[in-house]
């Protein structure tokens, strides 16, 4: 049986970053994932979403030496434009821009395609001496005792660790194996994720366009075949999402252009489309004996305001700070209690705020729509409110 300080179940973005951060402290880490990263955006199973990494996430990546690998493929996000629409076809009612310079920052974040991030992170981890990266091996079993967790993988190997970390996604097998349930809220919505090229340049502006049914979010990417390009997340009621998925590429591009209120000119689909169920989900506990639950294994949020993975990286930062502060207690009850105390309130607050925000965004009720428009004006036009909301939401 192999011994290490930490076992991480799940080599998604959160698990890989957690493993690198622990290794950076000099801890030994075993990390397992049954699905190796795809080689290209077009490959089967490739995650076509992109993630806007806000400042605290970039600071974490920088501090553990990962940012230099990712920076060359990251697109800066300098302005967040929020547009409130009504009617069909959507007409713009209110439009406001939030600039990172309002907070004295050159950018409020960086956008990176998920499939590429995962590939680059896995490559970096494969070269780290403290990390045993087992791609193609799934977590299968766990037995915990006062001083250790013993983990079995699908490749037949067994591992003894002081701390097991569940980073194996929303259906987390490790979370289930230690008997932690979840509380799930469904909205009847689905999010379509895809990439478009467009006529007008994006100028490093991220745009969120609200309309009943859900948000349409356009986040800048590097040019594709010489054309300005962006990642899109389009939230819709389930049946509408299904009908959009059934359209051919041309008809889909036309519908997407209409839904974007034409703010970037004609949109052209340049990737496959993927559908994600929109839910809020929280694990009933963040820990079990010798086990910590992080990222989507712990919390899933609707994809608005770039809160999902950014919240996950706060989990990673909290665990790493504790491992630095109390290395002898890694995985012990006092360590796990401190992790709960560090993360519970923040996760609850973010989940509640994004849940409320999503309900307001998707509503087709006229008074709620009026409130949405008024709220946008208030948040933007009253300077101290704007600065406060930006600081909170963007983590700057």
Ligand X SMILES: Cc1cc2nc3c(=O)[nH]c(=O)nc-3n(C[C@H](O)[C@H](O)[C@H](O)COP(=O)(O)OP(=O)(O)OC[C@H]3O[C@@H](n4cnc5c(N)ncnc54)[C@H](O)[C@@H]3O)c2cc1C
- Provide the binding-site residues for ligand X, judged by CB under 6 A: 9-15, 32-35, 49, 51-52, 114, 138-139, 167-169, 173, 191, 193, 233, 276, 295-296, 303, 306-310, 312
Nearest residue to 392 via CA among 60, 103, 74, 111? 103
Q: 192 or 322, CB closer to ligand X?
A: 192
Strand segments, DSSP code E, in 214-325 are: 214-224, 227-237, 267-269, 274-283, 287-288, 291-293, 299-300
Strand partners, 134: 32
CB of 19 to ligand X, least distance (A): 11
The answer to whether residues 280 and 354 touch, using CB atoms and an 8 Å cutoff, is yes
CB of 322 to ligand X, least distance (A): 19
Residue whose C-beta lies closest to ligand X: 12
CB of 56 to ligand X, least distance (A): 11
Q: 235 or 330, CB closer to ligand X?
A: 235
**Cis omega before residue 330 (within 30°)?**
no
Structure tokens at 243: 């009908």
Q: 192 or 261, CB closer to ligand X?
A: 192
d(CA 180, CA 144): 14
d(CA 58, CA 322): 20
CB of 111 to ligand X, least distance (A): 7
CB of 374 to ligand X, least distance (A): 26
Query: Which CA distances in Å does 350 have to 175, 311, 315, 379?
Result: 21, 8, 13, 18
CB of 353 to ligand X, least distance (A): 14
CB of 161 to ligand X, least distance (A): 14
Maximum CA extent, the chain = 63
Q: 12 or 90, CB closer to ligand X?
A: 12
- Please name the residues in contact with 117: beta carbons below 8 A apart, sequence gap of 6 or more: 13, 51, 70
Q: What DSSP element (H or E) covers 144?
A: strand 139-144
d(CA 254, CA 174): 43
Q: 219 or 264, CB closer to ligand X?
A: 219
Q: 68 or 141, CB closer to ligand X?
A: 141
Q: 19 or 83, CB closer to ligand X?
A: 19
């Amino acid at each position: 049986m192999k011994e290490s300080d930490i076992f991480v179940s799940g080599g998604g973005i959160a698990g890989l970053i957690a493993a690198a951060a622990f290794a950076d402290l000099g801890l030994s880490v075993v990390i397992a994932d049954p699905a190796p990263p795809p080689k290209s955006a077009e490959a089967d199973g490739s995650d076509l979403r992109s993630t806007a990494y806000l400042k605290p996430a970039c600071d974490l990546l920088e501090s553990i030496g990962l940012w230099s690998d990712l920076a060359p493929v990251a697109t800066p996000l300098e302005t967040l434009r929020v547009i409130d629409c009504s009617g069909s076809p959507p007409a713009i009612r209110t439009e406001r821009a939030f600039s990172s310079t309002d907070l004295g920052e050159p950018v409020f974040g960086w956008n990176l395609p998920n499939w590429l991030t995962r590939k680059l992170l896995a490559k970096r981890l494969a070269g780290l001496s403290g990390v045993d990266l087992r791609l193609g091996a799934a977590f299968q079993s766990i037995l915990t005792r006062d001083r250790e967790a013993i983990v079995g993988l699908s490749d037949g190997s067994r591992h003894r660790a002081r701390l097991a970390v569940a980073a194996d996604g929303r259906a987390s097998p490790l979370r289930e194996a230690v008997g932690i349930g979840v509380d799930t809220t469904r909205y009847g919505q689905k999010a379509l994720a895809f990439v478009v090229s467009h006529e007008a340049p994006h100028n490093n502006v991220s745009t969120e366009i609200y309309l009943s049914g859900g948000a349409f979010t356009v986040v800048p990417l590097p040019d594709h075949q010489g054309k300005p390009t962006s990642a899109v997340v389009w939230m819709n009621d389930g049946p509408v999402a299904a009908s959009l998925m059934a359209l051919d590429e041309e008809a889909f591009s036309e519908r997407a252009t209409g839904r974007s209120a034409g703010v970037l000119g004609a949109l052209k689909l340049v990737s496959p489309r993927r559908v994600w169920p929109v839910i809020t989900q929280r694990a009933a506990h963040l820990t079990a004996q010798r086990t910590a639950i992080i990222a989507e294994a712990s919390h899933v949020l609707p994809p608005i305001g770039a809160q999902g993975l950014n919240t996950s990286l706060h989990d990673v930062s909290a665990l790493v700070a504790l491992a630095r502060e109390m290395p002898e207690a890694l995985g012990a009850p006092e360590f796990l209690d401190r992790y709960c105390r560090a993360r519970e309130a923040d996760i609850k607050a973010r989940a509640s705020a994004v849940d409320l925000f999503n309900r307001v965004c998707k509503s087709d009720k006229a008074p709620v729509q009026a409130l949405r428009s008024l709220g946008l004006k208030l948040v933007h036009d009253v300077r101290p409110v704007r600065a406060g909301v930006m600081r909170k939401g963007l983590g700057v």
